[in-house]
Amino acid sequence: MSRIGKALINIPQGVEITAKDGLITVKGKLGTLTQDYDPSFSIEINDGILEVKRPSESKPHKALHGLYRALIQNMVVGVSEGYKRSLELVGVGYRAASQGQSLDLSLGYSHNIVVALPKEIKVEAEMAKGKNPVIHLSSHDKQLLGMAAAKIRSLRKPEPYKGKGVRYVGEQIRRKAGKTAGK
């Protein structure tokens, strides 16, 4: 049996979950999230604890069991606490500025890059003297937050020789040795 799938989900105060006809909806103080699931799976809620049960021991059902449980857990944590992701800009002259839902990045190209973010994501750019600029992203939707952070990182991936580029805060970049002198 799936270890993740059989784990129970504790539902915190202020979170409402409704599941019917292959659609689960989670409402909390930070927002509302919905997710499709296979209607043959049963979702049981008893005394503030949610359990996902699979209909059979077939391989596809085993594979989806842990997935659905993890997706529901991410939704519950998202609407109650939220998720945060921070990106760091490493490089001379790299800058970031946020205004509303747009992020203006100067990443060493001939022009600035303006990234429009979805309304579910809150963005904040932090520029401190002597430190690398940091972009803070927060949202109640973990999937959307991860995709937005990956999109920003893909604009200038960290390169292995000097380590310049956009990286997640705390990310370790594997460095390569540069060219060595001839004779």
pLDDT in tens, the chain (183 residues): 468 888 999 999 999 999 988 999 999 999 999 999 999 999 999 998 999 999 999 998 988 999 999 999 999 999 999 999 999 999 999 999 999 999 999 999 999 999 999 999 999 999 999 899 999 999 999 999 999 999 999 999 999 999 899 999 999 999 998 888 766
What DSSP state is assigned to residue 30?
Answer: T
Q: Alpha-carbon Rg of the chain, whole angstroms?
A: 21
For domain 83-168, the CATH superfamily is: Ribosomal protein L6 (3.90.930.12)
What pLDDT is attached to residue 112?
94
Check for a shared fold between 9-80 and 83-168: yes
Cβ–Cβ contacts within 10 Å for residue 129, how many? 4
The highest-level CATH class for domain 9-80 is alpha beta
Task: Record the tokens describing residue 172, joined without a space.
Answer: 């370790």
Parse the chain into domains and list their residue ranges: 9-80, 83-168
Gap between the Cα atoms of 155 and 39, Å rounded: 39
